[in-house]
Amino acid sequence: MKPSPYKLILDKCQLANELKEIFIQLCNEGIVQIKINRWINVNFCLPQKVHRRLIELSPLSPPITPANIHLCLKKLRPYHTFLLLIEMDHLLQSLPQDVSPSSVRLIRASNPLKNLLELSADADITLSQVFNIVAELVYWGKATIIFPLCESNHYMLHPSAPTA
């Protein structure tokens, strides 16, 4: 019996293995961050897959499409803020090497108590840049838009939200 041509290719070709890894990452996570041939960065996101995974707590949620995300981001205002959905250190480590210093400054300055206008001043970035960076973080499922937290408000966790 002859071995599968796919197995032979995977045994001999690094590119074939990297393409297989890309396919697996897209199917499982919806995000690809890989270096082809240890040289070319490939970053890709299927936002509908990423955001579907983020809202698994609520099965009644409607499907999230890239168009829905863009529509939501058009309503972003200076009085909003963003909340990181992953640890800051993990996010900073996952950024490509050529990420803009402005993005790093904004991520480091992130604070759910401050609105985007205040974060813009803290990170020394124009408000339009802040909007673009936040939009990118939301699109990739790394952050969500919220109103700044306020001590006079009451907040509640979803009953099945992971707290550990």
34 and 106 both lie in a single domain: no
List Cβ neighbours of 84 (8 Å cut-off, separation of 6 or more): 91, 107, 110, 137, 142, 143
Question: In which element (H, E) is residue 138 found?
Answer: helix 127-139
Give the Cα separation of 29 and 49 in Å (integer).
Answer: 7
**Same domain assignment for residues 13 and 89:** no
Quote the number of domains for the chain.
2
Torsion sign (Cα): 88, 103, 46, 21: negative
Identify the domain containing residue 2 by its residue range. Answer: 1-45
Q: What is the pLDDT of residue 33?
A: 87
Q: Are residues 158 and 80 in the same domain?
A: yes
Asked whether residue 35 falls in the same domain as residue 102, the answer is no
If we measure between CA atoms, which residue out of 137, 132, 139 comes closest to residue 64? 139
Same domain, 112 and 85: yes
Looking at the structure, do residues 112 and 163 belong to the same domain, yes or no? yes
Place of tokens 């985007």: 116
Residues 41 and 67 reside in one and the same domain: no
List per-residue pLDDT tens for the chain, 164 residues long: 888 888 889 899 999 999 999 999 998 888 898 888 888 888 888 888 887 766 665 666 667 778 888 888 899 999 999 999 999 999 999 898 889 999 999 999 999 999 999 999 999 999 999 999 999 999 998 999 999 998 888 888 877 777 77
Q: Are residues 69 and 38 in the same domain?
A: no
Specify whether 39 is located in the same domain as 68: no
Measured in residues, the chain has a length of: 164
Sheet strands (E) in 31-71? 31-36, 40-45
As a dihedral over the C-alpha atoms of residue 100, residue 105, residue 111, residue 115, rounded to 10 degrees, the angle is -70
Q: Decide if 106 is inside a domain.
A: yes
Same domain, 24 and 98: no
Q: What is the pTM of this model?
A: 0.81
User: Are the CB atoms for 40 and 20 separated by under 8 Å?
Assistant: no
Q: Is residue 116 located within the same domain as residue 144?
A: yes
